[in-house]
């Protein structure tokens, strides 16, 4: 299973969720705008791949990142940010890449 986490470093209390996904054998992919070097070590260890974008608010840039991860790792089964701020982004990505979850019309 491929699980894509948007902005994996925030909120900090949800980093453990990402770590536990990896502990269960789930491939955890991630997209964020913070430098990889700034991520906490347990989070780094849990991520199969981290794709840095300049701006998570740039939908086209994020879509290109998702497309790259999909090409490299295969289909993405879930997308989650654990952050209400990114809810519209999550839903746009669910729709664009046909991933289970709420779609823009569900807002």
DSSP string, the chain: -EEEEESTTSSGGGHHHHHHHHHTT-EEEEEESS-GGGS-HHHHHH-SEEEE-S-TT-HHHHHHHHHHHHHHH----EEE-S-GGGHHHHHHHHHHTT-SS--GGG-
Q: For the chain, which domains are there?
A: 2-106 (3.40.50.20)
Give per-residue pLDDT as tens, 14-30: 999 999 999 999 999 99
Question: pTM for the whole thing?
Answer: 0.95
Give per-residue pLDDT as tens, 59-103: 999 999 999 999 999 999 999 999 999 999 999 999 999 999 999
């Amino acid at each position: 299973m491929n699980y894509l986490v948007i902005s994996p470093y925030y909120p900090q209390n949800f980093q453990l969720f990402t770590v536990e996904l990896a502990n269960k054998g789930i491939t955890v992919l991630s997209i964020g705008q913070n430098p990889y070097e700034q991520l906490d070590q347990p989070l780094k260890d849990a991520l199969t791949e981290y794709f840095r974008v300049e701006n998570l608010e740039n939908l086209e840039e994020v879509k290109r990142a998702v497309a790259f991860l999909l090409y490299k790792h295969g289909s993405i089964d879930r997308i989650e940010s654990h952050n209400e701020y990114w809810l519209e982004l999550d839903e746009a990505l669910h729709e664009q890449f046909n991933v289970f979850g709420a779609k823009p019309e569900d807002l």
